[in-house]
Chain A
Amino acid sequence: MKRTIPLALVLIMGITMMIQFFVPHPVSVGYYDLTTKWIRIVGAFALVLGTGSFIMFHSDKTRRRRQGWGYSIVAIAALVVVALIGLCPRIMLWWAVFLPTAAVVLGLLLVLVRSVDKLKRFITIWYVIAGAALLVALAGFAVGVLAGRFGWRLPHELAGGIRPGSILQNVIFTNFLVPLNASMFAILAFYMASAAYRAFRARTREAALLLVAAFIVMLGMVPIGANVPFFWFLVVAVAALAVAGLVTRAKALFIGAGMLAVGLLVWLVFWKFRIPPLMLPDTAEWVLSVPNMAAKRAIIFGVALGGIATSLKVILGIERGWLGGGKQ
């Protein structure tokens, strides 16, 4: 029962949605609208899984005092405070600031009390956090109701939790989320620089080809490469090949340099000894729209067939990984 019904459900949903794609009849369109609305709701609930495992992981780490448990408290506190501020409909700003601080103070008090051996047995740190969070939630809702009845009106834009467009959302978004999220990715540029110097090597023929294509695209896509003829880029490439051949005495590099040099000469003659007008940006555009387009299209075919095969195996119940361990 625990496996057959989910598998049947996945089969029915998969087949009906595929058939629906081919049937324009109003019944099929109606069925489609209904299920899309349901999916939007169930999809939003899926967030429960993520939040649940997050809280479980960090609270477990705190309870077991594993290395770095202090930071887990920070993570859970941040989650609880931001979620509560967001969800309380009419929490007022200074209540929103006052209550979390009160909860933290209460938490610290309980931690001190807990360090006394007698009490350690029945008050664990996890209950402290749960207690503090509960306190904040109850107080927030109560204040919201009271504020409603007694008309404690704060300036309109201060109230309203993370209601779209409210002041709280902007504060949390622009001054906490944006700097953290943006900086987390900005440090990648530094890793890129040190990896470029210490790891990106033309070890194999393929890696060398990759780096040359990367150089053309990188220079072609920025203003500095805008008026550099591709001809000079090739001259530099010939020089680099020659030097590499000299240093490593690898015959292949010399042949490569020679062939490229001959090619350049022919190209020069073709343009009657004037520098061919093909600019770097146009070459980069060619690299992107011919070889790159062909390679990416082949990858799209591969990924599409792979994705379809996997989806089909899920629908037909051949692939059951998503069911998880489970007894039967």
Chain B
Amino acid sequence: MILLLISLLAVGQAALPDSGAVTAARPAPPGVVKATDTPNDDGKSINISWSAADTLAQAWLVERTEPDSVKVIATNKPDETNYIDEEVRDRVRYTYRIAAVAAGDTVWSDPTPQVSSSPQFFNTNRINILIAMLVFFALVVYYIETAKKGKNLFVRRIAGLDAVEEAVGRATEMGKPIVYVPGLGSVADIATIASLNILGEVAKKTAQYDSALLVPNRDPIVYTVAREIVKESYTKAGRPDAFRPDSVFFVTSEQFAFAAAVDGLMVREKPATNFFLGMFWAESLVLAETGATTGAIQIAGTDSVFQLPFFITACDYTLIGEELYAASAYLSREPLLLGSLKGQDYGKMVILLTLVVGSVLLLLSKLPALGFFSRIVGFFSTR
């Protein structure tokens, strides 16, 4: 698209028409008249553009000649020197003429070469998106495959996990229970799945230290999955007998009723540590506040940007957005999670690299010699 424009302008300056004797009133016929099939469209449209030879013209007439008819199809205001004709049929040959109209005089330009419209199979404006997609898809698929082949991919230990360790330890010393809320989302939410992975880890610790664990749920499916995970963790820690089935329970599906019920639980049980990991909505405020007033250490983690500010101020440690996914990937070592996390990580690196290199080149484009670098910004425009 850019190349088209530049070639148009260049040609425009070179071949200025030298019309014959020009009477004062008669306007010169329009300069270079070009008619091209509109690029990157589904056909049936022709782009006509021309340049004004002088400023006398008060209007432009656009005339189309087809095999069987000649018709003036548009009158444009002086400043509009292009027109898109959309009443054309594909594969029919047309020619166009433009007239400059001024004070009764109509001076016609010579007709353009024959042109016909046709649909294109690839939208050249969107090459940048295609490249970005292919690069990122390659990264994600590559890392998921390597993770599946068992190659251990390095993921750094999230600071939040040390806080989890320390919080469970504190609860055991004080002999008080731990309340773990796996969020209000459903199994389809990524944050809920990440929270359930971390629940497995916390349950293993409470099994070893034999401290009480309470897991209230809002979604029936999440409830059943959570109970399986806690049971499995207790058996893995070698304490299947210590698992109390009623420690994982379903409360209600109404948002605020659930928050009120968990508040009641926290005030009654006076837990040493509260975990709020998963998907939360406006009720996060109610939970975090009551938890804070009971003096418990609170660790939160969610990917919902709206609730993060409240968790950050009301809780002792907060896993922000993707840190929650990274923590669950680190703990579960599950190839699917590790693979896509690494793929996104290096996707970010590609973005940052492009931004830095692009910016350097763009700033250099101020120097006369490297002017063409300024085309980089255009490459990132979207149509």
A residues in contact (CB < 8 Å) with B: 18, 21-26, 28-29, 57, 184-185, 188, 191-192, 194-195, 198-203, 206-207, 210-211, 214, 299, 301-303, 305-306, 308-310, 312-313, 316, 318-319, 321-322
Nearest-neighbor residue (CB-CB) of A54 within chain B: B253
Pick from B187, B336, B347: contact of A319, CB under 8 Å: B336
Docked-complex contact B282 and A199, CB < 8 angstroms: no
B121 touches which one: A23, A184, A210, A322 (CB < 8 A)? A23
CB of B123 closer than 8 Å to a CB of A: yes
Whether B111 is near chain A, meaning CB under 8 Å from some CB there, is no
* Distance (whole angstroms) from the CB of B225 to the closest CB of chain A: 10
Bound Cα distance from A321 to B186, whole angstroms? 11
Given A305-B347, A318-B336, 20 additional A-B pairs, CB 8 A:
A21-B129, A22-B122, A22-B126, A25-B43, A25-B119, A185-B282, A188-B285, A191-B289, A192-B285, A195-B310, A201-B313, A211-B313, A299-B305, A302-B344, A309-B140, A309-B343, A310-B340, A312-B137, A312-B140, A316-B141
Whether A199 lies near B42 (C-beta < 8 A) is no
Min CB gap B110→A, angstroms: 32
Across-interface contacts of B220 in A (CB, < 8 A):
57
Q: A198-B293, A199-B292 are in contact. Are A301 and B351 (CB under 8 A)?
A: yes
What are the residues of chain A within 8 A of B344 when measuring CB–CB? 302, 305-306, 309
Residue of B nearest to A192 (CB): B285
- A contact patch SS: helix
Chain B residues 169-212 with CB under 8 Å of chain A are: 187-188, 190, 193
Q: A188, A200, A299, A321: which contacts B314 (Cβ < 8 A)? A: A200
Tell me, yes or no, whether B40 is within 8 Å of chain A by CB.
yes
Also in contact, A24 and B193, with CB within 8 A (given A195-B310, A195-B314, A198-B292): no
Contacting residues, chain B, for A207 (C-beta < 8 A):
312-313
Q: Does residue B358 face the partner (Cβ distance < 8 Å to A)?
A: no
- List the 7 shortest-distance A-B pairs measured between CB atoms, nearest first: A199-B314, A199-B292, A195-B289, A199-B289, A200-B313, A26-B42, A305-B344
CB atoms of A21 and B322 under 8 A apart: no
Residues of chain B with a CB closer than 8 A to A57's CB? 220, 253
- Which residues does chain A contribute within 8 Å of B289, judged by CB atoms? 191, 194-195, 198-199
Q: Is the CB of A184 within 8 A of B188?
A: no
Interface residues of B in 117-145 (CB under 8 A from A): 119-123, 126, 129-130, 133, 136-137, 140-141, 144
Chain A residue numbers with a CB within 8 Å of B321 are 299, 302-303
B interface residue numbers (CB < 8 A to A): 40-43, 119-123, 126, 129-130, 133, 136-137, 140-141, 144, 187-188, 190, 193, 220, 253, 256, 282, 285-286, 288-289, 292-293, 303, 305, 309-310, 312-314, 316, 321-322, 325, 336, 340, 343-344, 347-348, 351
* Closest chain A CB from B282 CB (angstroms): 5
Contact, CB under 8 Å: A191 / B136 = no
| A212 CA to B289 CA, complexed, in Å | 20
Of all chain B residues, which has the CB nearest A184? B256
Residue of B nearest to A299 (CB): B305
Chain A residue contacts of B129, Cβ below 8 A: 21-22
Asked if residues B286 and A191 are in contact (CB atoms below 8 Å), the reply is yes
Docked-complex contact A24 and B309, CB < 8 angstroms: no
Which of B120, B126, B288, B340 is close to A199, meaning CB atoms less than 8 Å apart? B288
Q: Which residue of A lies closest to B119 (CB)?
A: A25
Quick one: which of A199, A206, A312 has the most chain B CB within 10 A? A199
